[in-house]
């Protein structure tokens, strides 16, 4: 069970199952066993209350503004409200000056901020972030983390997968630690880093190789 409120970080080495778990929760993958339940019983409505940003966001061959307008159209936002909502979202992530630039001409960090702006415009209750800064430099990473904190401050539940320990310390309130497709720990972030309950988590925090 994952509750609203605290930022949840899904930690684990590459191949631990972080992305699979995120896609299962968001409904992009069907579970081979068991079920995923949301407080909202209407599955279609629950999907509209969520958004997901990937490590490599998909950009349409349109302007930055048009990318957000398209997302709002898909979400059935009234046409009269879309442009204002899109411009506000671009301003929130600091891209208002690039509104008319082709989205695919933006830098990697700018594209990631645009992906977050698309999510911001939809006002999701839950935002899934799958390694959103894995390929970015420190400056772009800092900019993305600022936007993530803005989502949190606005009341959006953040569920974020990463293997970056420093980032998990900066952003996380609780940690779900995965190892070889299994949840080994779920605990407050400060306790996870100071008193890991499993040998695997302790080795991961120390940066030890699992085969060493």
Domain residue spans of the chain: 8-206
The span from the first CA to the last CA of the chain, in angstroms, equals: 34
The pLDDT of residue 27 is 79
Helix or strand run (H / E) with residue 127: strand 126-130
pLDDT per residue as tens digits for the range 68-118 = 999 999 999 999 999 999 999 999 999 999 999 999 999 999 999 999 999
The pTM (predicted TM-score) of the whole model is 0.88
The pLDDT of residue 212 is 43
Residues in the chain where the model's pLDDT stays below 70: 40-48, 208-212
Is the domain defined by 8-206 classed in CATH 3.40.50.1970? no
The pLDDT of residue 41 is 58
Written in H, E and C, the secondary structure of 34-67 is CCCCCCCCCHHHHHHCEEEECCCCCCCCCEHHHH
């Amino acid at each position: 069970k994952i509750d609203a409120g605290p930022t949840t970080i899904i930690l684990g080495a590459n191949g631990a199952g972080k992305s699979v778990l995120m896609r299962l929760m968001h409904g992009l993958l069907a579970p081979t066993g068991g079920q995923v339940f949301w407080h909202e019983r209407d599955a279609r409505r629950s999907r509209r209350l969520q958004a997901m940003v990937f490590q490599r966001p998909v950009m349409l061959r349109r302007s930055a503004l048009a990318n957000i307008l398209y997302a709002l159209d898909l979400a059935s936002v009234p046409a009269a409200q879309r442009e204002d909502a899109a411009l506000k979202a671009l301003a929130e992530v600091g891209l208002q000056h690039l509104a008319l630039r082709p989205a695919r001409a933006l830098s990697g960090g700018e594209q990631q901020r645009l992906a977050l702006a698309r999510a911001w415009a939809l006002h999701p209750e839950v935002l899934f972030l799958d390694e959103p800064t894995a390929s970015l430099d420190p400056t772009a990473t800092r900019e993305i983390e600022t936007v993530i904190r803005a989502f949190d401050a606005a009341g959006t539940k953040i569920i974020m997968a990463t293997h970056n320990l420093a980032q998990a310390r900066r952003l996380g309130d609780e940690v779900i630690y995965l190892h070889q497709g299994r949840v080994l720990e779920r605990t407050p972030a400060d306790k996870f880093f100071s008193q890991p309950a499993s040998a695997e988590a302790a080795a991961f925090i120390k940066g030890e190789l699992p085969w060493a």
